[in-house]
A and B are shown apart, each in its own frame.
Chain A
Amino acid sequence: DSGVTQTPKHLITATGQRVTLRCSPRSGDLSVYWYQQSLDQGLQFLIQYYNGEERAKGNILERFSAQQFPDLHSELNLSSLELGDSALYFCASSVPSGIPGELFFGEGSRLTVL
């Protein structure tokens, strides 16, 4: 158990809909990272937040947005869903004083778009 909690574990929805994925980082971790893992693209970095502020942006679509709240939990919002958005979405967290590059990943949220 990494200490990172993601909900929901599974989600099935239809094209055009909007969903929100939630992540609670490990206690004390200030950074949250979102990754998307699909069969054809592998693990893709989406976005990073540090203590509520956006820190780095990767291959995140304009239809996707994220935020980190004052209690440090984060939400990833996916809108106007397409079939190709079906994937595993992972959240990870890290602490500034930890091993550089050591991220703690949750178990993921599996999104299926029908």
Chain B
Amino acid sequence: DAKTTQPNSMESNEEEPVHLPCNHSTISGTDYIHWYRQLPSQGPEYVIHGLTSNVNNRMASLAIAEDRKSSTLILHRATLRDAAVYYCILRDNNAGNMLTFGGGTRLMVKP
């Protein structure tokens, strides 16, 4: 399985943008990039996903490098509720919906 590398933790101030990086230098052509987050005492929840182009949804934006070897999850205005562990996951489109979680980035948001 192609692996991802994320910083263990990051800090942000409330109402400021947050850029969460992810490196995936061994990504293959059939791998989609997914982001999930896990709030305290909850199960993971889907945030966003993409293949090659940048993506936006109501929760976040996903910026994908042209060579696809890295990506960045962007939270446009962090709130205290965004404090969570953020997971960057590569999903092989030939392997269905199975997701392999790594260590993730623990985002702390300061008021």
Contacts and interface: CB of A to CB of B under 8 A. Distances in A.
Contacts of B104: 42
Q: Helix, strand, loop or mixed for chain B's interface? A: loop
A74 B26 CA distance: 35
Centre residue among B34, B43, B99, B101 by max chain A CB count within 10 A: B43
A64 interface: no
A99 B46 contact: yes
Centre residue among A2, A43, A58, A99 by max chain B CB count within 10 A: A43
Contact of A31 (B46, B91, B97): B97
Contact of A94 (B34, B44, B45, B97): B97
Given A43-B101, A101-B49, A108 B93 contact: no
Interface residues of A, number: 26
Q: Helix, strand, loop or mixed for chain A's interface? A: strand
Contacts of A104: 45-46
Contact of B98 (A4, A42, A48, A106): A48
A90 B43 contact: yes
Interface in A67-114: 90, 92, 94, 99-108
Contacts, number: 66
**Contact residue range for chain B?**
20 to 34
B17 interface: no
A65 B87 CA distance: 27
B102 A92 contact: no
Q: Which 10 A-B pairs have the closest CB atoms?
A: A105-B43, A43-B101, A102-B46, A101-B91, A101-B34, A90-B43, A105-B44, A56-B98, A94-B97, A106-B43
Interface of B: 32, 34, 41-46, 49, 87, 89, 91, 93, 95-104
27 contacts: A33-B98, A35-B101, A42-B101, A42-B102, A42-B104, A44-B101, A45-B98, A45-B101, A48-B96, A55-B96, A56-B95, A56-B96, A92-B44, A99-B46, A100-B93, A101-B32, A101-B34, A101-B89, A102-B97, A103-B46, A104-B45, A104-B46, A105-B45, A106-B43, A107-B42, A107-B43, A108-B43
